[in-house]
Structure 1
C-alpha cells in the first residue's frame, strides 16, 4: 500500500493487543497516531515506544463510554497532532456469562464500551473528516457477532457494530468518508489469556484447542488484524465502503 503522509489517526483501546498493533502499523504507514485507552499510563508507554522509533505518537487517557471524556480526548488530539481523519474503534471489554447468570451491569458495561463508545468517538471525529472531505472509520467487530455461547452481551455489541458500520457508510460516503469493519476470530491477546485463566485452562492448551477448529491451523496474531485495518485506512480503499471483513483463518457464515 502507498504510505500516507500528514494524516492523524486515533486508535481506541490501544495500550495493548490489537489496538497497540494497529497503532504501530498505522504509524509505520506514515500516520501520526493517538493511542486512546482507559489506562493512560499504559497508552503513554506504548506511544513512547513508537515515538522512540521516530513516529509521531501520543497516549491519551479516555473512557470512550463517557461523553465528556471523549470530547476532551479528541480536543487534545487536535491540539497536539492535528485534526484526525482516521478512526479505529477498537476499545472493548468482556463480561462473559450465561444469560441466566448475566447481570444488568455486565450487559450495560459491554454495550457501553463497544456501541456507545464507537458512537461517541465517531460523532466527535466525523466533523474533521467531513471538513477534510476525506476520512476512514474502521470498527472492530468479531466472529462472535454470529453468536457465541456465554456472550449474549458481547455478541449483541459486535453484531451492532456491523449495523453501525453500514449505516455510517451510507451517511458519510458522499463526504469522502468510508466506514468498514474487521471481524477477528480468536486472537492471541491479553484478553484471551484472561479468559483462559478464568476457565482454568493453561493458555497454551486453550489456544491449541481453538486452533484445531481453524482451517489455517492457528489462532490469529494482533498483526493479522492490524494489516486488515490498515488496508481499510489506506487511500487504495476509497471504493470499499460498508464492508465487514472476517479475519479468522477460515470462512465465516
Structure 2
C-alpha cells in the first residue's frame, strides 16, 4: 500500500528492490525478434520508424562523415519512449521518472562529446565559448556564462525528462484518489478527464523522448 503520492516513484517500495528496475528491461519484449528471418508488418513499421528517425537526425549532424551515428540517437529515443510508455501502465515502476536513471543517460553521452571536442577540435571549442560580434568588454563574462551553460546541460536534460514524467503521474494519482468519494455523474466526468489526461501523457512521453534525443544530437553537432 502506498503511504503517499510519491510512493510510486520510490525504488524501495517492494521488498525485492531490484525488481522495480526490471521494468526498464520489459521494453526488450517490444523489440522485433527474429529480425532478419521473418518479415512482417510489425517489422516493416519498425524499419520505417528507424528510417524516419535517421533522416531527422541526419539533418542535425553537421559532419556527413560520421555515418551510423544517427543510430545512437534513434536507439536513445526509442529506449526513452518505451520506458515512458511503460510507466503509464498500472503497478509498473516508472524508471524515467527517476533522476538517477535520466542522469545515467545524459552524463555519459555529454561527457563523451565534451572529451571528443576538446581533444580533436580544441580551437573550435574555444571559439564556441565566445559568441560572434560580442563586445570585448563582456568577453570574460560571456566565457563564464557559456562554460556554466555547458556544464549544466546534462542536469537540465535529466531534470526536464524527470519533472515532466512526475507531473503527469502525480496528477493522475490525485484524480484517482478522489474517485471513491464521488457520485456517479461526477465519476463519469472524472473517468473522461482521466482518459484525456492519459492521452496527454502518452503525447508527453513521445515528445519528451524526442526533445531529449534532439538536444543530445545538437550538443554532439557543436563539437564537430
Q: Do they superpose with TM above 0.5? A: no
Q: Per residue, is there more helix in 1 or in 2?
A: 2
* Bigger relative contact order (CA 8 A; separation at least 6): 2
- TM-score between both structures, scaled by the size of structure 1: 0.28
Larger-Rg structure? 2
